[in-house]
Structure 1
Amino acid sequence: MAYPFVAPDLTKRPPRSPKVRLGGYVILPRTIDKCRALLAGTLGAYLFNCPLDQKFFQFKGLDPEAFREAVARSETDEAILHWVETHGIPRTPEEVQEWSRRMEEFRYGESPQEKEFFLEQCRKLGLDPETTRLFDLLEEDDRSSLLSEEGESCPLFS
């Protein structure tokens, strides 16, 4: 199927950083990249609708499958943002800003398994778990995954 967008090849380069914003939302550009790559068959080791994507979908009240269908029809990030704004839970700019700030500060989930996974990944990547945020971990994982022969990414958070 031909799509109206150019999909990133995530077997050769990472998606955009989770810190990059679109419409004030962190995570959204990264989620778009992964969704486009999924549609094009170039997702590589990344996951669409991973726990991080789900945090965005929950905040906006969006169905991941409906989001995927909207991405498949949309040429631009701005068109996807328009769809997000018209189909999701209405949020004020202040709510979006606060949610994005909290996400940027997020380290790991509440379960012992998530904490242990986070600590293990920090050690593996040479990061200080006391000062590292999840987005920092993902950026370093993206860099190191492209350099490694295995091309493994953080499956819990990608």
Structure 2
Amino acid sequence: MNKKVTGKNLEREAPRSPRIRVGGYAILGRTIDKCRALVAGNIWEYHFDCPVDNMLFGFKGVKGDDFKAQIEQGASDQEMVEWLHRNGEEKTQEEIKRWGDEVIATRPHDDPERRDWFAEKVKPLGLDPAKTTLFEWLEVDDKACHAKAA
């Protein structure tokens, strides 16, 4: 491959919603967008290999550095799906779907260790921490950050 890596300029537009499934995997499109932006030098305030990315990496049993190495070689979305299928723990399509459904429904408010942190993040955006999923917060936060930057 060895292509010049280009991606979204995350200062101008948000990465994909973590709800958007790529190859059946929730989070994957967002993780790819952030990693490409990191490699291309325009990740802005986003972070690759963050706790959300690590939900995916942990599910599959892969490392962020190994994922990034594929992106650095110019891997497409489909090539990253194929790489995930070949690496880490083998997962059936049913397991991938079930995991995706679970992470999409994750409510940090339900976790006593994350409840206060989450409330601090969502309340300034006008969201109810008890009713807001992690991914809903990320989507609203993306919009708010880009509205401020515009």
Alignment TM-score, normalising by the size of structure 2: 0.92
Q: What's the Cα RMSD here?
A: 1.7
| Alpha-carbon distance between aligned partners in 2 of 1:107 and 1:36, rounded to the nearest angstrom | 28
Instruction: For 2:35 and 2:3, locate their aligned partners in 1 and report how far apart those are by CA, in whole Å.
Output: 12
Instruction: Decide whether the 8 Å contact of 2:5 with 2:39 is kept in 1.
Output: no
Paired residue for 2:54?
Answer: 54
- For residue 53 of structure 1, give the secondary structure of its aligned residue in structure 2: helix
Greater Cα offset, 116-125 or 39-48: 116-125
Look up the match of 1:18.
18
Specify every segment of 5 or more residues in structure 2 that has no aligned partner in the other structure, as ranges.
none
Question: Once the two structures are superposed, what CA deviation does each residue of 1:81-131 show, in whole Å capped at 9, x if it has no partner?
Answer: 11111112110111101100110110117353x211111122110012222
Report the equivalent of 2:43. Answer: 43
Report runs of 4+ in structure 1 exceeding 4 Å deviation: none
Could you tell me the TM-score, scaled by structure 1's length? 0.88
Contact 2:57 2:64 in 1 (8 A): yes
Q: Structure 2 matches for 1:1-158, cutoff 5 A?
A: 3-108=3-108, 110=111, 112=113, 114-149=114-149
Q: Following the alignment from structure 2 to structure 1, what is the Cα–Cα distance between the partners of residues 126 and 92? A: 38
Matched AA of 1:110: D
Q: Distance in 1 between matches of 2:50 and 2:82?
A: 22
